[in-house]
Every structure is written in structure tokens, then in C-alpha cells.
Structure 1
Amino acid sequence: MANFVGSNAMFQLVLLSQKQQVDVANLSLNAELMGLPKEIPVQVEQTCLVGGKQAGSRVIQLTVGDTVVRVVPTRGMAILEASRNGVRFGWDSPVKEVVHPSFINQEASGGIGWLDGFNEMLVRCGYQWAGHPGQDGDEFLTLHGRIQNTPADEVILEVEQVPPYRVTLRGRVDEKRFKFTNFELHTVLSLTPDEPYLLVEDTLTNKGSYPREYQAIYHNNFAQPILEEGARLHVPVAELSPFNDYAASGLKDWSEMPAPTADFDEMVFNIRPLSDADGLSYALMQNAQGNQAIEVCYSTDTLPVLTVWKNTDTLEQGYVVGIEPGTSFAYNRAYQRPLGLVPTIEAGESKQFIVRFGLFTDEQEVAESRLRIEELQAQTSPQISSKPVVVLD
């Protein structure tokens, strides 16, 4: 159906609605079917997956200009992967299927069952809790919360029928538990044919009657062709520390990326970033040549810290680096209250999280982003601690 929003013509289609009992299932739309001039490079496809543990999962593919992005509404509106000008942004997990949440037991193996489905470019961690599994008082918390393994209740496609022909995918994912949590997450992903950006704007609302703690980590994961020997991460750092003693041994070259390395496992680094006058901070991982990169831009108002997950193990194990803005670091929630990193959302209150991905495929785009980060860093020298901010049991 076509709707009109203000003075701009807008194509709108409900792909999924629990309330309206709508499920479009397999779908393919070209520009003309959405009311755009046929020469505008916009196409939308939805596929219902079959076979193995991905049976029942849905993937929505948005082709907008030179950018292709694949979204999984079945898994909390995750971004599976993206590409621009043929350059892929994402990673190769040993998990190859788009695993349906019904096959995930998050309490398995001491609370790390979440890993059984972990293979996306953008994974939301939260919102009742995020971080490592373990006890927090009387409550056992599984790895990284529940939202990633919660199917969307609603998915709506919107396409502007006039320039800039912005394509928007809206989702709603509920995180609710009787007597405890009554959260609604409204997700918005948008992009245009002529820009190298994917914009994610999420709004978390506490629909309950009482204040609640919450946490959010945007677990953004990237590998080849950006990640390679000689690749480098650029971050404007106010404070930097290792997650644990093992990461402390790699602090000297935390931002330099090696080739796939057997037995490397993972090193994690905690960053309190610098931000610009608009409250935005940036992280840029560029390839060795400096002509391809991923930029993660985020609002530090609600995502004040950054975790760098350097998992440069073998290709078979999963060679990947995570660039993860969040309310919190990746420690269990119990360790983060003393750090002031477990915020509260009041009854009826909403919190917005903004993350923008720059899919850069030429030297000029990469250089401009790097310069922006260098100018921020020039304002102050980073404070680097060799000691973790948390002493783990």
C-alpha cells in the first residue's frame, strides 16, 4: 500500500505484524513496484529460510544504490552483513546458518549458548542486561542478554518516492517478563542510494510502572577484506585499559591487526572515547592499503564507552574484530555498577541509541574519517592504564 507522509510521497508496506496478524513471507519488489522511477537502483527481497537450525528464520535484503544490506528480523533485527561496491562488511563465523532463536538455549554450557547463533555484523546485546555470564546477586545472567534471540513483533518497510529515495526498515522487538521487564525496542535502519552510510536509530522504552536497570552493547563485527595483517584501528581515546591480564600483554599494539594467528583467542580493551561538539565519537578500522574501511559513529550520550574485541584467531575459529559502543563494558553486570555503567530507565521513559556505519571503499573516504579522528585526539593525550578496571574473580 502507498501512503503519504507530509508533502513527500512514501511507499509503505507492513511485512510482519503480530497485532494485525500480517506475514508477507517471500517477497521481491523492484523500484517500479514501489512507485519509484524504474532507473532508481532500489530493490527489496525477503526470503523465508529452510533446512537445519535456520528453519523459520527470515532475511530481508535491501539493495540501495551500490549498497546491499541483509537484515534478520527473526534475530532481533540484526544486520547479518552488508556490502558496498563489492566490498563485504561482516565476518565468517563457524556458525553458518541464520539460527532461529527456538534452537538457542542461552543457559547452555554455563550461560554461553548465545554463541550458538553468533555470526552477524550487528548484534544487539541487552537490554535487561549485557556482558559476560555469571551471578549478579541472586540472579544468573547469561551471555549478552536476550534481545538478539527475540524475533521482531513488527516489521515495516518505507521507501521515499522522491529524492533522496531513502529506504527505511522499521522493527519492534519486545523484551518482557512478568514482574520484571516491560521493554519495547523500536529499531530504524535507513540508507539512501547516494551515500556510503547505514544509519541505525533505536529507541528503548520502559512500558512498566517502575524504574529498571538496563544495558546495551552494539556488538559490531568485521573481518576480511578490511581485517588483515597490517590493518589498523583508529579511535579517539580519553582512557584505555585492558579487559583482563591477558589483554594487558597486548596493550602496546592494541590497535594493530595481525594475520590470523593460532591460539591468539581474544583480547578485549576498554575505552572511554572522546566525542565531538555534537556528542558523536568514531572508530575506524582500515585495511593495510588504506583504501577500504569501516567507520562506526555513535552518540556518546547514551553509549558512553567502547569495547574493542580483538579476536584474531585462525580463519576456521573466526577471525574478527568487534567495535562495540555501549552503555557498559563487557564485564558481568555485577562488576559494572561500581563503574557507574549500569544506567536506569524511568517508568515511561525512552532512551535513543544512534549508530552509523560508514562503508568506505576508496582512499578519500578513509582519509577524511581518519583525519576527523586525529583532530579529536589532538585535543588531549590518552590516559592508558596497564591494569584492568575490574579485578575478576
Structure 2
Amino acid sequence: MIKPIAAAVLLALTSVSTQAVEFVLTDATSGQDVGNWQVSSDSLGLKTDAPFTLEKRRLHGGKQEGVDVLVVNNGVMEITLVPTRGMGIYQVKSGELRLGWDSPVKEIVNPAFIDLESRNGLGWLDGFNEMMVRCGYEWTGHPGVDDNGQLLSLHGRVQNTPASTVKVIIDDAAPHTIHVQGLVAEHTFKKTNLTTLTELSVTPGSRTFELHDQLTNQADYADEYQIIYHSNFGTPILEAGAKVTAAASEISPFNDYAKAGLKGWQTYLAPTKDYDEMVFNLKPIGDAQGHSLAVLHNQAGNLGVAVGYNVKQLPVLTLWKNTDTKQQGYVTGIEPGTSYAYNTKYQRPLGLVPTIQPGETKSFDLSYTLLRSAEDTRQALAEVARIQGKQPLKLVDKPLVDLTKH
């Protein structure tokens, strides 16, 4: 049972033993916002082997003025969520291991300071510095003019849409799993009526956190949708000799430039001036339930991350290798999605622009596991091998879309 209680009352409680608790941090409908806020397992009287804390705070100064961040510390890792930026994940820290990267964009930018259509649709890059960015849902991919003449900006609007509601729910029963929910709306008169209920779940003491998102079409008409879970990693995982492994049946270069890196797609260079970026399109495979896995680890194999997803929900995987200089942004992306990174009009012929019916809900489930030892990495790679089975990976040197003709 979930019992909603005002945050101020909850902070005064010393014990919550029989019911789960729900904290409403933000609610646009009622105009509610708790401002700076915190709670812990101790303040709730919960007995756990891994004491946890949650803290919401508002940032000030520069382009981050007014941005809310929510920091979830489950006792072994610290996850920083950004409700103001579509419930994205800024970074995750656990000892010497960090999931995230060093972008030239240093502040967590308030969407109010971003013009998505600037630079011919590249304005999205003015705020790009997160570990996990939702790209979509009305459209995603590279900017360009769609078949109907509309400019589709880079990777859609959801990441630059503040959450309308933000809730924290803590299970009453051990292990007291923490759920952070955010409702993000893409509503435009005569155009779209999509709502996404995002959820991050993490158990105290665990090195895995999960995303459970539900996209609903609230319109009376069917609509297209697209999503890419743009998951980005830099140092200390990314370095010369780092390696990525994914269960897949086929890989191809995104464009002609990436052809030169196809055979060495699994390994990474040190920061390299003029490298720019190489992108690869993978056709992932899953087990009988559709579960798939991609693993990125450092050269020694003792630090890494495993990204789990379901190919029945997210049928394609993009690998983005941006091993440019550190100052430019040394980063790689493991990106499960419904679509690759091509502009929408090039993906319709590929069957990668799905439709959502009136009232229909689509679910997307992902997991991120921190690998903090060679044994952790070995087990994760063994799981990839199990899913891969005897199916070979086919290298195709021709891009799926011939961008030279467009």
C-alpha cells in the first residue's frame, strides 16, 4: 500500500514500519514544489544494511539557474537525476568508478536557455553533458527537414522538457527499494499528445539500477514515436584499450567515414585529435525473453558498466565512439532504441519509426550495472556470450542509409 504524505510531515516522522511512503516533490497541477528537501533511511526509521539518503536541491548561477537535481545515494553508489531536464541522469559515482563523462558543457543547463532549432537544429548540444539522455519521443535522430517540411531538431524535445510531477516512493518491506517517478509531457496543439511516466528504481546496497518508462498516446489519433536511450561513458572506463562487447547479429557503419573503423569497432583509442566521431549500427539479439546486454570495460577489465535492455521494446543499438581530445569531449555512447541516429525521414523506409495508437502505452525497461572488479566484468561478458550463443556477428561495410545521396 502506498500512502501519500506531505514532505514536511514525513520529515518529522521517526518511524514508518507498516506502509510505503510517497513523497510528492513537484506537482504542476497543484503548483506544489517542496524546494530543497532530503530524507534518509535513518529519518524514516528503516533498518537496512546499506543506509540510504535522498536529497533534492535547486542550482543557482549561470545557465543552471533554477535547475532541480535529485541525488539518490543507496549506500554504494550516488545517482544524480535532473527532473528539470526530462528526468535524465547526470552521473553515477561509486568509489573510483564513475558513469558519465567530461563535456565542454560544464553546467547542468536549464532548458529555458536552449534553442533547439539553433545551428540548423543542433541547439540540443548546448546542454548535452549527461550520462543518460532520453532522445525522443515525438522524434529523434540527426536534425533535418522531414517529408512534410518541418525541421526536426537533433534528438527531439523530451530531454529539454521539465518533469510536470516528481515523486519518490520507498517500499515498506525490505529491501526498501527506492522508486523515483517523473511525468514528462510532450503536448502540442494539433501536433502531439504524448506523456512519459519515467521511473528509476534502485535497491539499497545494489550496484544495479533500473529504468522503467511508459509512453502513452493521450490523443484520439495514432502518432509516430521514436526513442534512443543515449547512455554516455568517459573516463575512467574509457581509455586506450577499452573494449565494448554486445550481443548482436550484424553491425554496419553509420556513414562512409565510419567504414575505416568497422573492423576495430570493439576497441578504443586514447584521446585523439581530429578523430571526430564514428557511429555504428548494430542489430542486437536477445534471449528467449528478448533480454540483451552490452558491456563496456577499461583496458584492465576491472572497471566497467553493463547495459541491459529488451530487443522486443528497443530493437536496435547505436554505438557512438567520440574519442576526440579530452577538451572536446572524450566519450562513447551505448544507445538502445527504436531507431538509429539517422533523421526520421530516412528511418521510415527502414521500418524504424513505429506508431502508437490512441490510448496505447509502450514500455521500455533498461538496467545499468556497475562493474567494479575483474570478476564482475567476467560474469557480464559471460552473459553476453550466453545470449550470443553460436550466432556469428556479420560485419557489413555498407551504411544502411547512403547519406551522400541526400
TM-score by length of 2: 0.94
State the shift of 1:277 in Å: 1.4
SS in 2 for 1:252: coil
Q: Secondary structure at the match of 2:227?
A: strand
Is 1:280 aligned with 2:294? no
> Equivalents in 2 of 1:86, 1:257: separation in Å?
20
Q: Does residue 165 in structure 1 map to residue 148 in structure 2? A: no
**Counterpart pick for 2:30 among 8, 11, 20:** 20
8 Å contact 2:92–2:98 — kept in the other structure? yes
What 5-or-longer segments of structure 1 have no aligned partner?
none
Hey, what does 1:60 align to over in structure 2? 70
What is the deviation of 1:67? 1.1
User: Does the 8 Å CA contact 1:156/1:169 hold for their aligned counterparts?
Assistant: yes
Q: Is the 8 A contact 2:82 2:88 kept in 1?
A: yes
- Asked whether the equivalents of residues 49 and 205 of structure 2 are also in contact (C-alpha less than 8 Å), the reply is no
Q: Which amino acid aligns with 1:28?
A: Q
1:34/1:159 contact within 8 Å kept: no
CA deviation string 1:209-255 (max 9, x = no partner): 00001000000000111111111000112111000000011101011
* SS across alignment from 1:370: helix
Moved more, 28-37 or 359-368: 28-37
Instruction: Answer with 340-349 or 362-371: which moved more.
Output: 362-371
Partner of 1:142: 153
Offset of residue 383 of structure 1? 1.7
Deviation at 1:8, TM superposition (A): 6.1
The size of the alignment, in residue pairs, is: 391
Q: Secondary structure at the match of 2:244?
A: strand
Q: Which amino acid aligns with 2:205?
A: D
Unaligned runs of 5+ in 2: 5-16
% identical equivalent positions: 47
> Following the alignment from structure 2 to structure 1, what is the Cα–Cα distance between the partners of residues 340 and 48?
46
Structure 1 runs of 4+ aligned residues shifted over 3 Å read none
Residue of structure 1 in register with 2:81 after alignment: 71
Q: Write the distance in 2 (CA, Å) between the matches of 1:255 and 1:121.
A: 20
Query: How do 1:109-124 residues align onto structure 2 when only pairs under 5 Å count?
Result: 109-124=119-134
Shift of 1:194: 2.8
- The aligned amino acid for 2:38 is S
| Counterpart check, 1:127 vs 2:130 | no
C-alpha displacement at 1:377, in angstroms? 2.3
Once structures 1 and 2 are overlaid, which stretch shifts more, 354-363 or 119-128? Answer: 354-363
Other structure's SS at 2:71 match:
strand
Task: Measure the CA separation in 2 of the matches of 1:349 and 1:141.
Answer: 24
| Alpha carbons 1:232, 1:256 under 8 Å: kept | yes
Equivalent residue number for residue 308 of structure 2: 297
Q: Name the amino acid aligned to 2:152.
A: L
Q: Is the 8 A contact 1:248 1:386 kept in 2?
A: yes
The separation in 1 between residues aligned to 2:368 and 2:391, in whole angstroms, is 25
| 1:286-336 residue CA offsets vs partner (Å, 9 max, x unmatched) | 111111111110011121000000000000000000000000000000000
State the AA in 1 paired with 2:334. Answer: I
Cα deviation, residue 196, structure 1: 1.3
Q: Distance in 1 between matches of 2:315 and 2:252?
A: 15
* Structure-2 change in CA distance of 1:8 and 1:358 (3 Å): farther
CA RMSD of aligned residues (A): 1.5
The match for 1:101 is 111
Partner Cα separation in structure 1 for residue 139 and residue 255 of structure 2: 21
SS of residue in 1 equivalent to 2:281: strand
SS in structure 2 of the partner of residue 151 of structure 1: coil
1:83 aligns with 2:101: no
Are residues 103 and 277 of structure 1, via their aligned partners in 2, closer, same or farther at CA, if it must alter by over 3 Å? same
Counterpart Cα distance in 2 of 1:315 and 1:169 = 33
1:44 aligns to 2:54 (yes or no): yes
Distance across 1 between alignment mates of 2:306 and 2:387: 15
1:351 to 333, 353, 362: 362
Q: Aligned partners of 1:268 and 1:77: how far apart in 2?
A: 26
Q: By how many angstroms is 1:154 displaced?
A: 0.2
- Identify the match of residue 227 of structure 2 among 205, 210, 216: 216
